[in-house]
Amino acid sequence: MTASALQRQFVVFSLKGESYAVPIASVQEIIRYAKPTPVGATSALIQGVINLRGRVVPVADLSSRLGHEPEINSGTRILMLEVAHGTVGLIVDSVDGVREIPTANIGQLPVAVGDSGVGDEIAAIDDHLVVLMDPERTLGSVFPSSP
């Protein structure tokens, strides 16, 4: 096996006291929080849109899906994630950094837990567990389906 097959690289972040991670290949950039402009969103996840260097980008907040209210502070960031139909921002409480996680430390979530729509893998990093979020599964529905 190659070294890259033995490890996967993720951006680790905190959301409502829990640790999550997304594959680094899905992350375009990380920006400071900017209040989204509300629009007639079709999804409860969407807080509105922001102007990112001339592009209108929808911004999602998973707080309600996780049973919490959004809380914005000086550490709040927006992860700009690439999904199949475009870019979507994800509001997170803080970004904890980029981590290489050995594939041996990654396992499947139990079926009932993995059915949350966030992802189906979990990783052990140091002394805590991190849910590995699948951006397409979690946020791909933000964009209308192509006809």
Task: Classify domain 3-138 by CATH number.
Answer: 2.40.50.180
Per the CB < 8 A criterion, the answer to whether 87 and 31 are in contact is no
Strand order in the sheet with 94-102: 94-102, 7-15, 18-23, 128-132, 121-125, 106-108
Give the pLDDT confidence score for residue 70 in this predicted structure: 74
pTM: 0.86
Q: What is the pLDDT of residue 110?
A: 77
Regions of the chain short of the pLDDT cut 50: 114, 146-147
pLDDT for position 109: 84
Please state, in angstroms and as integers, the Cα–Cα distance from residue 17 to each residue in 26, 63, 138, following that order. 23, 11, 19
Percent of the chain with pLDDT over 70: 85
Domain ranges for the chain: 3-138
